[in-house]
A and B are shown apart, each in its own frame.
Chain A
Amino acid sequence: QVTLRESGPALVKPTQTLTLTCTFSGFSLSSSGRCVSWIRQPPGKALEWLARIDWDDAKYYSTSLKTRLTISKDTSKNQVVLTMTNMDPVDTATYYCARNDPGGSWFDPWGQGTLVTVSS
């Protein structure tokens, strides 16, 4: 059974750096074709894809957020980490991680999500 779980701070201050960890089980990110993505959803708004990391360490970022995002993996711990710099109240959202299919197309399954609020 494949599961993913997000963890990180529930509250960050403006200008701070957010670090989120996705801990997964049921698959290995060192297996050929495997990828993990981060997606966020502001309250009452649509989903927004943020970043993806592949089994071979290829990385893809949202064009609009690329300068603020860094994605990395620790295959020995079955973890993917996302950092987002210079946090702003508009970054308040539920952040999800999800496993991609081997082609990187769809997300299945998703983690339960973690709500991050940006406020002073």
Chain B
Amino acid sequence: QSVLTQPPSASGTPGQRLTISCSGSNSNIGYNPVNWYQQLPGAAPKLLMYSNNQRPSGVPDRFSGSKSGTSASLAISGLQSEDEADYYCAAWDDSLNGMVFGGGTKLTVL
């Protein structure tokens, strides 16, 4: 059971806009920034979004992040087949004094 809650799966068609949610609590998302990772099949995770809504260099602006209260979201616009991957949210947890992850969302592009 992960500390952060994500939907296990999401799907969309090419060109569509889609959002993935991440729900936590005051001890993690409520007071700490949220980061998102993309894990392509068979690969190591890659930083996709940091500090709630900042894109690392090289990440397309089709990806955007937001946070409100104890929840965060990752939005993908103009969905592409290459976006098929697992997506994980993460944040520091002040109560656990450690990093916590969501259970991951498997994105399928139909």
Binding site for B on A (CB under 8 A): 37, 46-49, 52, 60-63, 96, 101, 104-113
Number of chain B interface residues as a range: 20 to 34
How far does the Cβ of B18 sit from chain A's closest Cβ, in whole Å? 20
Query: Is A49 a contact of B45 with CB atoms below 8 Å?
Result: no
Q: Which residue of B lies closest to A65 (CB)?
A: B98
The interface stretch among B9-17, B19-27, B32-40, B72-80 is B32-40
CA of A96 to CA of B97 in the docked complex: distance in angstroms? 20
Contacts of A113 in B (CB 8 A): 44
CA of A105 to CA of B50 in the docked complex: distance in angstroms? 8
Query: Is B102 a contact of A105 with CB atoms below 8 Å?
Result: no
A-B contact count (CB 8 A): 61
Binding site for A on B (CB under 8 A): 2, 32-33, 35, 37, 44-47, 50-51, 56, 88, 90, 92, 96-104
Contacts of B56 in A (CB 8 A): 108
6 extra interface residue pairs, beta carbon distance < 8 Å, beyond A46-B104, A108-B46, A110-B45? A46-B103, A49-B99, A60-B98, A107-B90, A112-B44, A113-B44
Given contacts A105-B51, A106-B47, A112-B44, contact A49 B37 (CB under 8 A): no
Query: Is A110 a contact of B102 with CB atoms below 8 Å?
Result: no
Given contacts A47-B37, A47-B88, contact A108 B97 (CB under 8 A): no
Query: Is B102 a contact of A46 with CB atoms below 8 Å?
Result: yes
Q: Which residue of A lies closest to B56 (CB)?
A: A108
Among A52, A63, A104, the one with the most B-chain Cβ atoms within 10 Å of its Cβ is: A63
Query: Is B32 a contact of A105 with CB atoms below 8 Å?
Result: yes
